[in-house]
Amino acid sequence: MLLLRRGQEADADLLGQMNQGLIAAEGSENTMSEWQLANRMKAMLAGGWQAVLAEDESGPIGYCLFSYQKIGLGGRKEIYIRHFFLKQECRGCGIGKQFFDRLQQEFFPPDANIAVDALAQNSAACGFWQSVGLKAFSIQYRK
């Protein structure tokens, strides 16, 4: 059974640890230490970012870090997902889709747009986001 709960400042060390797992999984160039990531999480949570942890019988298995934003002249609501992570052993069996569906039902406003960035080389993440109904919007190029 998948349980979801809001992350608190007390979860910053755990979130930092899982963030390091996300960095490794996505092939990011980020070199921050687990301690630095935990401190960044504390600052982000204090600054208005929201964290939701996913847990099963074994304990925490993933998290989502997001913010509520307003975009455009009409102030349309948008959820910007900065991090979405599941432990490796929990991938490919429907838990990620269940987690994302529950986030939409329990934590996101029903009329909000959802935006997420995925690294181009992370084909698993790109495939996941497409599988849950998100569509590619833009491509950023760097040198």
Q: Is 88 left (phi over 0), alpha (psi -120 to 50) or beta?
A: alpha
pLDDT in tens, 9-43: 999 999 999 999 989 888 788 888 889 999 999 99
Task: Supply φ then ψ for residue 2, to 5 degrees.
Answer: -90, 120
CATH number at residue 66: 3.40.630.30
Question: In the predicted model, what is the mean pLDDT of residues 75-94?
Answer: 92
| pLDDT for the residue numbered 73 | 66
- Residues shown for the chain: 143
Does the residue 136 lie in any domain? no
Does the residue 137 lie in any domain? no
Q: Is 114 left (phi over 0), alpha (psi -120 to 50) or beta?
A: beta
Burial label, 10 (beta-carbon count in 10 A; 0-12, 13-18, 19+): exposed
| pLDDT for the residue numbered 143 | 84
Does the residue 84 lie in any domain? yes
| pLDDT for the residue numbered 95 | 96
Give me the residues paired with residue 68 across strands: 79
Kindly state the tokens that stand for 78.
């948008």
| pLDDT for the residue numbered 72 | 66
Q: How many domains does the chain have?
A: 1
Kindly state the tokens that stand for 136.
């590619």
Q: What does pTM read for this prediction?
A: 0.91
Give Rg (Cα) of the chain: 15
- Position 90 pLDDT exceeds 90: yes
30 against 83, higher pLDDT: 83
Does the residue 119 lie in any domain? yes
Does the residue 141 lie in any domain? no
- Position 133 pLDDT exceeds 80: yes
| pLDDT for the residue numbered 50 | 97
Does the residue 143 lie in any domain? no
Q: Where are the strands (E) in 23-137, listed by range?
A: 50-56, 59-71, 76-86, 113-116
Residues of the chain with pLDDT > 90, as a percent, come to 69
The kind and range of the H/E element at 5 are strand 3-6
Quote the mean pLDDT of the chain.
Answer: 91
Does the residue 34 lie in any domain? yes
pLDDT in tens, 59-80: 999 999 999 987 766 777 899 9
Domain that holds residue 115: 3-131
| pLDDT for the residue numbered 70 | 77
Does the residue 121 lie in any domain? yes
